[in-house]
Amino acid sequence: MRRRIPGLVAVLSVIVAAAGCGSSDSGDGGSSSSGGDGTTRVKVGIIPIVDVAPLYLGQKKGFFGSRGIELEMVSAQGGAAIIPGVVSGQFQFGFSNTTSLMVAQVKGVPVKSVVNGAASNGKVGGDVTGVGVRKDSSIKSAEDLAGHTVAVNTLRNIGDTTVRESVRVAGGDPSEVEFVEIPFDQMPAAVDDGRVDAAWMGEPAMTVAKAQGVRVVASPFAETDRKLTVATYFTSAELAKKDPGLVKKFTEAMTESLRYATDHPDEARQILTTYTKISGDVLTKLTLPSWPPEIDTASLEKLASLGERDGLFGDKKPDLDALFS
């Protein structure tokens, strides 16, 4: 029997889909409002994962407060809740992976990215996501994934698109990979008991799975582009037009937060304990993403091209300039 980490269920309960996997309780809605002390209360729809650590760290360090912004983070399970929540005005800003934002745009959803969120750390074999297999699996590389089942949290999104690219780069046939949709928190068990041959996992699921003997055979983000912009913070086109001053202040505060998190990774790691159940060895060992303040346009162009190849956008193409500039 394979060794399991105590508290696995509690740890993995914090893992949620990056986008498009339904929603959890989003709290009370409402637009931003000004407090009596001159501050503006702002709701941000987020996914309580490692990637948003700079937002919480920036709040703690006063980067938002110094600009008159009082943040309220509202947890949701993914973009299926966050994107419409931002468009409706329930949230003023939201966090979503970049493929989901592209898909939303080509469907006519009026969203506008305002600042970077998270990126690949560029380390093949040690990135923030990876494809894991059982220790005794015959799969030794991304090329070997062809002909096997691979779990992703959401079909037809950033996960399967980048996994296909890993297979392609390694010399395999990505059309022969069978993708299965499984929530992140169930992936280590699905690999362990053989329900799938491999799983594309983020943190801390990957750290937990590694402790159980899982081997990483691919790093899809880094293998797609070592500077891949994975997620950004966004707002509605309406708010961007109606209150550009607020958008500017949020963007400035978030940029300062990203820089601070980059320069103080230990503080970024520790802030995870305030909004997740990650602790102990998992907290110490989990891999952090990169948090550059700038969006990498070239990486998004490549991601959009791969999405087109996979048919994610129908007969349209995302307008990256309009969405991300």
Percentage of the residues of the chain whose pLDDT score is greater than 70: 88
The amino acid occupying position 110 is P
Average pLDDT over all residues of the chain:
90
Token duo for residue 127: 């990135």
Would you state the pLDDT for residue 34? Answer: 61
Would you state the pLDDT for residue 76? Answer: 85
Tell me what the mean pLDDT of segment 13-41 comes to. Answer: 50
> Residue 186: which residues within 8 A CB-CB, separation 6 or more?
none
Q: Which of the four pLDDT bands, split at 50, 70 and 90, describes residue 290?
A: very high
Diameter over CA atoms, the chain: 64
C-beta neighbour count of 274 within 10 angstroms: 11
pLDDT digits (tens, 9 = 90+) for 153-168: 989 999 999 999 999 9
pLDDT digits (tens, 9 = 90+) for 161-191: 999 999 999 999 999 999 999 988 899 999 9
- Which DSSP letter does residue 195 get? S
Tell me what the mean pLDDT of segment 103-120 comes to. Answer: 97
Residue 72 scores a pLDDT above 50? yes
- Cis status, amide bond into 292, omega within 30 of 0: no
More confident residue, 22 or 204: 204
Would you state the pLDDT for residue 206? Answer: 93
Would you state the pLDDT for residue 21? Answer: 35
pLDDT digits (tens, 9 = 90+) for 85-95: 999 999 999 99
Q: Are strands 111-119 and 130-133 parallel, antiparallel or unpaired?
A: unpaired
79-88 and 98-106 helices, crossing angle to 10°: 50
Domains, in order of start, for the chain: 8-120+227-324 (3.40.190.10), 130-224 (3.40.190.10)
Q: What is the pTM of this model?
A: 0.88
Would you state the pLDDT for residue 38? Answer: 82
Token duo for residue 221: 């983000």
